Amino acid sequence: MRSSGKPAVAASGEEIGPDGVREPGGEVHAWLPGQNQTVCGLPLSRSRLRRFPHVRFDYASTDVLTGADPVGRICPRCLAATEGRRRDEKRPWTRHAPRP
């Protein structure tokens, strides 16, 4: 199996949605199909994470989770690895009075 560039979801739990499809629940990680570990480095088998290849990891750092969501926590290391910095994005800081 070839690994794709778009991460899918690996989660600690699962729920059945209203349409009968498995949905991730609990702690959510990014996972590249074809690999045996998450993007942050957790091995799938040892950490007992379930794979969801049909669900894309499209979470952002600005997402707010409530008690009604089946997802309880989004891994911050996976978020940082999948978001990255865009090439055209400038640094958020500015240098004042640089050294000569």
**What is the per-residue pLDDT across 12-52, written as a single tens digit (0 to 9) for each?**
999 998 899 999 999 999 999 999 999 999 999 899 999 99
Give tens-digit pLDDT for 59-99: 887 787 887 788 888 999 999 888 876 655 677 778 888 87
Q: Distance (Å, rounded) from C-alpha 16 to C-alpha 34?
A: 24
With bands split at pLDDT 50, 70 and 90, how would you rate the model's confidence at 1? very low
d(CA 64, CA 56): 18
At 24, is the secondary structure helix, strand, or coil? strand
What's the Cα-to-Cα distance from 15 to each of 6, 22, 25, rounded to whole Å? 23, 6, 6
DSSP letter for 20, please. Answer: S
Entry pTM: 0.76
